Structures are given as C-alpha cells and as structure tokens.
Amino acid sequence: MIFFFNSSLQPMKSGIEHAELKRMQLFLAHQVPALILLRDWNPTLHKTSHQAGLTDQQILNMFDYFQGTQTVTPKFVGVHDIDFGVAAAVYDEDPDESRYLVYDADHQLLGRINYAGENHRVKSVELFDGFNNLYRVDHYDERGFLSLADHYTPDNKIGTETWYDLHGQPVIEGYHRYDMEQEWRQTGWYLNDVHDHKEYTFDTIEEFTRHFLDAVNADYWSLAHPNIFVMDRSHLADWGFLHLKRPAYTVFHLHNAQTGDAQNPWEKILNNNYEFSLNAMDGYDAVVSATKKQTQDVLERFQPRAHLFTIPVGVVSDARLAAKQIPVKKRQFGKMVVFARLAWEKRLDDLVRAVAIVKQTVPEVTLDLYGYADSSDNYKARRMIETVIKENHLEDTVHLKGYTTDIDAVENQAMMYGLTSRMEGFNLAILEAISHGLISFTYDVNYGPNEIVEDDVNGYVVPNGDYQALAKRMIEVLQNPKLAERLCQGAYDSAGRYSEAAVWQGWQSLMVDADRLWPAKLAANRYITLDRSGV
C-alpha cells in the first residue's frame, strides 16, 4: 500500500492538497491501492473529501482511526436533540450568530447551540455553569455524533480535550498546562487503543503521530512488498517517519524550495518547513522533487544517500489533452486570469503593476484574481493589491473574484495567465493554464514556472521581479494576433509533457525502487513477528 501523509482536507485547498487529489486519481486509474493519511481532527472532513471525489475508503484520519469513526452512517442532529437535563428549557434563536441561547425556567443560561445550514444542523454546544462561566464545549462531527469535548479551566482556557467513540466512551485525551515560561501549551496525550487493547501516553503530538503510522504500517503489512509512506507536509511527521517500529519505504516530498531564498540553492538559511528533513535526509529512502532543476540542486548541495526522483505534482488528464482546443480569436481579448492565494509569496501586486502598464497601450486588458486572501499581517497581501488598484485607477480592470473550483469555465474564455511568485515548488495553476491553451507570463523563479513555461513556445519567462518586462511581453502578444495564436497552440502542445503516462512512469520507478530495497530492509531490521507489537 502507498500512503500520502498530510494534515487535513479543507474546502479551500492549497497546492499540496490539489496535488494529492490528482495523484490519487492517477493511482486509482492504474488500479494501484493508495490511501491519504490525515493527522488533524476535522469535523467536516468526510463531507469535504466526498466533494473532492474521494470515498471514505480512500482517506484515513488519525482521530477517526482511534475513535472508530472511519465509516459512519450519517444521521441528523438538530437543536432539539440536545438534552440539557432540565424541564421546560427555552430556546431563543440568534440568527445573526447562527445559534440558539438555551435557558431554564428561571432564565439561567444553560448553553449556546451553534448550528450550520438551513436545517440548523448542530455544530457545537457551549455549556455554562450557574455563574455563567463556560466550562465545556461539545463539538459534533457533521455526520451526526459527539466527537470532541473541550473542558475549560476557571481562567477560560482549554485544559483537557476529550475525543469519544460512537458509544460516547472517551478514547483520546489531550492535556494543556502552563510551562516553565508560563506559556499555556499542550503537555501530553492519552490513548485507549482499542486495536491492540492497550493504553498509551505520549508527551508530544509527534509521538502520537508515530504511533498512528506504526499502527497503519502493521495493518497493511506484507512481507512481499513494502508499505510506501510519502510525506507531503514534512513538519507533521518528519520525526515519526524516521522512527517507525517496522520497516517501510519512506519518501520525503519537496513541495517548495528547500532554501529560504528559492533563487539561491546554496543559501545558508533553509526553508524552515523542511530544515529537519533536509538535515536528516539520509534517514529516508527517497526524496521526490517536482522539477529536474530542484532535483539537481538538492543533489549538488546535500549529496544524499536517499534516492532522488523527479515526479511532477501536476497531471494533465487524458480527457483534458483530448478536449476541444479553443483558438485565441474565440477567447476574450486581453483577459488574464490567475488562480492563487492572495499572499506575500505570490507577489500579485507586481502583476497588477504590469497590467497598469499594459492598459496604457492596450486598454482592453483585464485581470481576474481567483483565490482566498491570506490573513497574515491583517491581510497585508490583499491590501497591497487593493492599493495598487486604487493608485492606478484599475477598479474596472482588476477584479478580486474569490475562491472558485470552476476552472474550466474561466480558463476556456480567458487568453492569458500571469505568475509573479517569489518562490514555488511547482505551481499547479500555471500547468492547468497551459493545458487550457492560455498564454503564460512568469518571472524566472524556482521551482516550476521556469520549466513549465517555455520562453517563446507557450509564453514568456522574464527576469525575476521585472514587472516592466512582463508588461512588455504582454503588449507584444496582444498586438500580434499571429504570435498569440502560435503561443496558444504551443501551450496546448506542451501540456503533453505532464500527461498521465509521463507522470505515472515516475511513480512506477519509485515503486520499483521500493521493491528492490525491500529484502535488504527486512534483513537489516531482523523482523520476527507479525503481531502489532512491532519489531
């Protein structure tokens, strides 16, 4: 079995989640068993995963696993299903806050019921004591059962978290206390593991996570082939991957630049998300990068014993490659689109500056930005974009469209795609753009954009940070219909480099390597027993 490890799956997904979903589709198409492992508790996970095209059998959440809630028949829990243990309770709706305030006959506040949707499905219940102090919050899984209770201290902090099974029995607890610096933090975990009928305590979430990985490794154990664990977010399980009880084939996946300055592969400061794994690289069996350039840079700097693979995180489906091609003349002239978070690293204010320059020569140009705003520094990135729009009077030219999943409809009518990132690990969005025939313009930035975009073939690559050069190239294309048509066709043609067959070949090579190393790994670990006790 091959496992892809991540934190969670949210309605608004990052590039890593989109990459995992495309990867799962690829494995399913080739009938190779694969499973997405998720660490973080999420009461709406199964609804979100179903919307993303996954079944309950294709994801496994750590909390679901130990709570016994991987597969649950949904039921509806409404406001009046909550029992406060008193007669004649009064329910006072507060629709502005999507909640009910519940009182007893003496108008003593008993609790607040927070709901979702028109049918008022219960999300959580806040419980108060006789002095109106919050003492517990019960959280309900969207499938209709009490999943987590937060128990509050007298000074209104979460002291203990308790997760329940479907019978209402506690199976997991998390504890919070003040540390020596008087910082309130998590100090330990308790687990009643029904799989092996043992109780465990863990000092850290990392130890708890390793126990989960060990359990999954045991559940899917085979002497014939190794389990393959691919770590898509290294900070979640970097230590755990290196300390598995049973042998497995472990893969460190780079989804972004390995250094703080993506343009300098010899920069002393490493990407803090990858620092531990980069320094412990020889403990993994393989390292996957999405581009040839990053693979080469990692090899030259770190010279790891781990085997290096270049496997694009993006896949252009056979259906997409076979779809009807739309010529430039049938697209909205001058329409540029972008799918990206409004975040500092995306540097979209530069793209707006470029559009401001283009508009002076080609007034028909427009820019639609699709993506949710990063909240960092009070939404600084979005505010920077809005400032440039206002300064250049682009209110009717540049539009912030918000998050959307309707990519086909948007890109089939647009003409261009722009990218001004400070760093990338691949950039699925620009790959999606060329597969839809969009002419792409990008800074010469590592890693991905300067490989996906081929200069004067499917778009243009300009010096990093030079938005004037970006604007110049856009004007050239907009003023030359024949050039625009050639680049549009070049975009369609170049998408074939990322076909299902091409990407699958990379994963096949990794799986062959795992099987090749397996006999030696078994011998080195001197495996004795097949029970869940480990090696």
Give the C-alpha distances (Å, rounded to integers) separating 73 from 119, 145, 528.
18, 10, 39
* 215 within domain boundaries: yes
Buried b or exposed e, range 356-379, using 16+ CB within 10 angstroms: bbbbeebeebbbbbbbebbeeeee
Task: Inform me whether the pLDDT recorded for 529 exceeds 90.
Answer: no
Whether 193 and 211 share a structural domain: no
The backbone torsions φ and ψ at residue 212, rounded to the nearest 5 degrees and listed phi first, read: -60, -45
* 248 within domain boundaries: yes
Whether 479 and 359 share a structural domain: yes
The sheet carrying 158-164 orders its strands as 90-94, 99-103, 109-116, 121-128, 134-141, 145-152, 158-164, 170-178, 184-193, 198-202
pLDDT given at position 56? 95
Q: CATH number of the domain at 108, please.
A: 3.90.930
Q: Is 54 helix (H, G, I), strand (E, B) or coil?
A: coil
pLDDT given at position 13? 83
Give CA–CA dist 437/495, Å, rounded. Answer: 9
**What is the number of structural domains in the chain?**
3
Whether 296 and 342 share a structural domain: no
For the residues 517-521, what does the mean pLDDT come to? 94
Name every residue whose Cβ is closer than 8 Å to that of residue 90 and which is 6 or more positions away in sequence: 102, 103, 104, 105, 107
The per-residue pLDDT for range 101-134, each reduced to its tens digit, is 999 999 999 999 999 999 999 999 999 999 999 9
Whether 424 and 344 share a structural domain: yes
Residue span of the structural domain in which 35 resides: 2-70+205-310
Buried b or exposed e, range 417-428, using 16+ CB within 10 angstroms: bbbbbbbbbbbb
The backbone torsions φ and ψ at residue 428, rounded to the nearest 5 degrees and listed phi first, read: -65, -30
Task: Inform me whether the pLDDT recorded for 272 exceeds 50.
Answer: yes
Q: Which of 175, 201, 227 is the last residue of a domain?
A: 201
Amino acid identity for residue 235 in this structure? H
Task: Inform me whether the pLDDT recorded for 530 exceeds 80.
Answer: no
518 pLDDT band, cuts 50/70/90, is very high
Task: Inform me whether the pLDDT recorded for 437 exceeds 80.
Answer: yes
533 pLDDT band, cuts 50/70/90, is very low
Whether 332 and 453 share a structural domain: yes
Query: Beta strands 459-462 and 228-231: pairing type?
Result: unpaired
Whether 294 and 360 share a structural domain: no
Percent of the chain whose pLDDT exceeds 70: 98
Average pLDDT, the chain: 94
Name every residue whose Cβ is closer than 8 Å to that of residue 417 and which is 6 or more positions away in sequence: 336, 337, 338, 411, 429, 430, 433, 434, 438, 439, 440, 441, 459
Whether 240 and 344 share a structural domain: no
* 520 within domain boundaries: no
For the residues 278-301, what does the mean pLDDT come to? 96
Whether 212 and 298 share a structural domain: yes
Percent of the chain whose pLDDT exceeds 90: 92
Whether 29 and 99 share a structural domain: no
The per-residue pLDDT for range 153-172, each reduced to its tens digit, is 999 999 999 999 999 999 99
* 220 within domain boundaries: yes
Q: CATH number of the domain at 260, please.
A: 3.40.50.2000
Q: Which of 141, 166, 201 is the last residue of a domain?
A: 201
Q: Which of 201, 216, 238 is the last residue of a domain?
A: 201
* 527 within domain boundaries: no
Whether 339 and 484 share a structural domain: yes
Whether 287 and 165 share a structural domain: no
Give CA–CA dist 287/282, Å, rounded. Answer: 10
* 348 within domain boundaries: yes
* 177 within domain boundaries: yes
pLDDT given at position 526? 62
* 59 within domain boundaries: yes
Whether 123 and 155 share a structural domain: yes
